[in-house]
Structure 1
């Protein structure tokens, strides 16, 4: 029986219990604040917010390097010489990480490392990784080609959207124009961001309190997509209040998602762009 090991980047924000359960190996991404570069996940996300508040500069996030990938791949083969690696990468159009994994894979025996672009980030990527791990566990005789086909199918059905509490971070990063930023503040607008073909794209805009906009975001998510309720997960960046978390859980339950699991905490890579108190949710459309 083939031993499969899944690898992915730290920007997947994969929960530790999932990492432990399926022995997923994490390739680090990086965050630079001032003249210091840190390994993503090695410090609290709030440190990035503090850095912005103190300096007026956003942390700079960067993808994994070929060396980062090489070190992880080497360790896997040291642990399991006959293993097959399935690398499910952070959206290739948003970072150099996927290309870095490709470069690193060329150092190893052909046919031992299989790369697939998740076309997703954070909660969306984590969902794809976990579902793939479950698939492999349930199908111990599966081939690498079948695993890749599974990932390529499910990535096209994963729907991930987030609702920033503030546009300050997106504006500071150049993702929101001055006009859009000031207009949104003036009109009390909250635009949502969706992931489509690997890109982060502006989506529907809602007006009113953040609570009202969160309700509309969740309602429209289920109206728009034929989501399998058991695949729904909710989460956000640090700062989301207990009241808003409870509201999100009650709203998704109204749509049949009665077991969305523990709150999903986003890491520094995505939170540096979305800012504090952002809300996110993911679900997989039925085939």
Structure 2
């Protein structure tokens, strides 16, 4: 039976086209501007590889921007026509983007019959995507909108979103580290390990040397969490043009879960713009 709850997500949740289709998510694209041109964050307009190529060629950093309220209003009207009774909006967290604020403005402007809720993921990339997927799974079981939202909110502090950054260049260009730290880190071949903690990006370790050291550090953190207990319906390896690293992780992890649980997906341009080529994460939810 089709759920009467529509899930509206933004393009930064970095799920695969197959998952978007299987879950019938309605996607609101965010925007990426680089070299004087603005693109919607959809692969048909700009892939992360093309974005990285422009960044390398022009030596410029992209700018990202939230979706406009009008995009949400259009989605609400479509949901009405399609016979939905309620909507859950879930995407990049309020501490990391203005997208939720755009959704709030749209809800205030909306005059239709739909019951519309927002779940603040306080996360990004497939960290937000995990909450959307588990929420949709819950809705398919027939739970009410109130129950679905309460369940999704209970997941927020339990999501583990973390990434190893291959290169410091984008972080430096974005002003998140000083020139001295950039040069020092470049000499030592530092690979920051970034975790999303209470809606903020925190560097919690800086493995040095070959990238494999960073990958193994992240994998060790994952193993410790798995031993404590994680939900095993959806586990993600998410990368920004880091296919070799993704293959490395998949080889280590594929026998840990039943078929279909472990998923490999690529970061879209919004996330890639702030992380750089080669960034890779392991994302999951604690029990």
Instruction: Give the TM-score normalised by structure 2.
Output: 0.91
Q: Distance in 2 between matches of 1:15 and 1:176?
A: 31
Aligned to 1:199: 200
Offset of 1:92 from its aligned partner? 0.5
Matches within 5 A, 1:177-192: 177-192=178-193
Distance verdict in 2 for CA 1:224–1:4, change over 3 Å: closer
Query: How many residue pairs were aligned?
Result: 280
Offset of 1:219 from its aligned partner? 0.8
Distance verdict in 2 for CA 1:35–1:187, change over 3 Å: closer
Offset of 1:127 from its aligned partner? 1.1
Q: Distance in 1 between matches of 2:235 and 2:209?
A: 25
Matches within 5 A, 1:109-188: 109=112, 112-138=115-141, 140=142, 142-188=143-189
Q: Distance in 2 between matches of 1:44 and 1:114?
A: 31
Matches within 5 A, 1:51-62: 51-62=54-65
Structure 1, unmatched stretches of 5+, are: none
Offset of 1:2 from its aligned partner? 6.7
Q: Distance in 1 between matches of 2:17 and 2:140?
A: 18
For the Cα contact (< 8 Å) 2:68–2:102, is it kept in 1? yes
Q: Give yes or no for the alignment of 1:100 onto 2:102.
A: yes
Q: Give yes or no for the alignment of 1:228 onto 2:230.
A: yes
Instruction: Give the TM-score normalised by structure 1.
Output: 0.91
Offset of 1:179 from its aligned partner? 2.0
Offset of 1:227 from its aligned partner? 4.0
The one-character-per-residue Cα deviations of 1:41-79 (angstroms, maximum 9, x if unpaired) are 132111211221122111111111111111111111122
Partner of 2:206, secondary structure, is strand
Partner of 1:19, secondary structure, is helix
For the Cα contact (< 8 Å) 1:237–1:279, is it kept in 2? yes
For the Cα contact (< 8 Å) 2:41–2:269, is it kept in 1? yes
Cα RMSD between the aligned structures? Answer: 2.0
Structure 2, unmatched stretches of 5+, are: none
The one-character-per-residue Cα deviations of 1:180-219 (angstroms, maximum 9, x if unpaired) are 2112112222111111122222121112210122012111
For the Cα contact (< 8 Å) 2:87–2:114, is it kept in 1? no
For the Cα contact (< 8 Å) 1:237–1:276, is it kept in 2? yes
Partner of 2:166, secondary structure, is coil
Offset of 1:145 from its aligned partner? 1.6
Partner of 2:126, secondary structure, is helix
Q: Give yes or no for the alignment of 1:71 onto 2:77.
A: no
Q: Distance in 1 between matches of 2:96 and 2:247?
A: 32
Q: Distance in 2 between matches of 1:83 and 1:111?
A: 6
